[in-house]
Amino acid sequence: MRSLLLYLLVLIALPAAAQIYKYTDANGNTAYSNQPPDGVKAQPVELPPLNSVEIQPPSEPVAPAQSSSREQPNSAYQVLELTGLPTEEALRANNGTFTVSVLIQPRLQGSHRLRLLLDDQPYGQPSNVPILQLVNIDRGEHRLAVQVIDGQNVVQQSPTVTLTVQRVHKP
């Protein structure tokens, strides 16, 4: 069985090692073939060696990216901000429920979570989903921000957004 496999591998490799011949056909055109034609003077073509690249070891070892909040307290994420909120008008939410989106770049790292702050206090459970829901928020002015946390450590915090929630009660 092993010799049959070796024989098949040699047969597959033969075309790659085949000789190439150059000749002039009956119309005076230069032609190339892997078999010299009968009755025509063909010259073997000497091909240059194939290109090869040697793998070079890196000149300096590359350290893996660290996600420790102690090492990168304010620069772990290039972009961290709340989006989807009105900036010049009140947010109409008759039952006080609405969602906010978090724009974060690069992606949230493995152990990091997003924690919403409502009026400077943690709101809801930390999550790895960049869409956060607020439920039954009172009407009036509120401050929102989002924090990236790693356990109990705050890695980074977004700028605070001030918005007004408008709730219209029907009689």
Please indicate whether residue 71 or residue 142 has the higher confidence score (pLDDT): 142
Average pLDDT for residues 55-69, to the nearest whole number? 57
Quick one: 111 and 153 in the same domain? yes
Q: Does the pTM of the predicted model rise above 0.95?
A: no
What is the C-alpha to C-alpha distance for residues 154 and 69, in angstroms, rounded to an integer? 7
Number of domains in the chain: 2
Q: Tens digit of pLDDT for each residue in 99-110?
A: 889 999 998 888
**Amino acid 18: pLDDT:** 65
Highest mean pLDDT of the ranges 18-22, 52-56, 131-135: 131-135
Is 72 within a domain? Answer: no
Quick one: 35 and 94 in the same domain? no
Is 112 within a domain? Answer: yes
What is the C-alpha to C-alpha distance for residues 139 and 165, in angstroms, rounded to an integer? 5
Is 5 within a domain? Answer: no
For residues 82, 84, 90 and 91, what is the CA-based torsion angle, rounded to 10 degrees? Answer: -110
Name the least confident of 9-18, 26-35, 106-115: 9-18
Q: Tens digit of pLDDT for each residue in 121-169?
A: 999 999 999 998 889 889 889 999 999 999 889 999 999 998 888 887 6
Average pLDDT for residues 4-33, to the nearest whole number? 71
Quick one: 87 and 38 in the same domain? no
Is 152 within a domain? Answer: yes
**Amino acid 112: pLDDT:** 92
Quick one: 93 and 158 in the same domain? yes
Token readout for 88 is 């010049």
Nearest Cα to Cα of residue 101 among 160, 146, 159:
146
Question: What domain range is 115 assigned to?
Answer: 79-166
Q: In terms of C-beta distances under 8 Å and separation of at least 24 residues, what long-range contacts does 15-20 make, across chains too?
A: 19/44, 19/45, 20/44, 20/45, 20/47
Is 155 within a domain? Answer: yes
Spell out the residues 6+ positions from residue 30 whose beta carbon is closer than 8 angstroms to its own: 22, 23, 24
Is 150 within a domain? Answer: yes
Is 117 within a domain? Answer: yes
Quick one: 22 and 88 in the same domain? no
Name beta bridge partners: 44: 21
CATH number at residue 101: 2.60.40.10
**Amino acid 72: pLDDT:** 41
**Amino acid 31: pLDDT:** 85
Quick one: 36 and 86 in the same domain? no
Is 38 within a domain? Answer: yes
